[in-house]
Structure 1
Amino acid sequence: MNKVLGLALLVVGIILLYFGYEAYNAPLSEMSQELTGEPTDRALWYLIGGAVATIVGLYGLIRGK
């Protein structure tokens, strides 16, 4: 994996983490947490996708050839 792809994945991962954080703290998600005890699926997918993309991007930057 080259460094450009690693940097792109890192940026996308950070953006997804931001959207996941915003979706997690949205009024609809907070209401869902009160009723079901879990956040919305959308918030979880943003957070999971962002975490994975960030980790892979960091790996690409560190190990990139």
Structure 2
Amino acid sequence: MNNKIIGIVLLVVGVALAFWGYDVYDSAGATIGRAISGDTPIEAWLGMVGGAVCIILGALKLK
């Protein structure tokens, strides 16, 4: 039972992190920064990759 709760929490946190990372990636400041320098903000990468890792770990805990 405890693993299922941890899995559900990881899934919820992962989805929230992924949405936050995409929101940072798609923001006006990040778009201007990508147009000028070509760099993606590290916060966007951390959010999207961290969210994906949490989602995968959560799914494995629910199995």
Partner of 2:29: 28
Unaligned runs of 5+ in 2: none
Unaligned runs of 5+ in 1: none
CA RMSD of aligned residues (A): 1.2
Alignment of 1:1-65 (within 5 A): 2-62=3-63
Task: Describe the SS at the equivalent of 2:23.
Answer: helix
Q: Percent identity?
A: 34
Q: How many residues align?
A: 62
User: Runs in 1 of length 4+ with deviation above 3 angstroms?
Assistant: none
Task: Describe the SS at the equivalent of 1:2.
Answer: helix
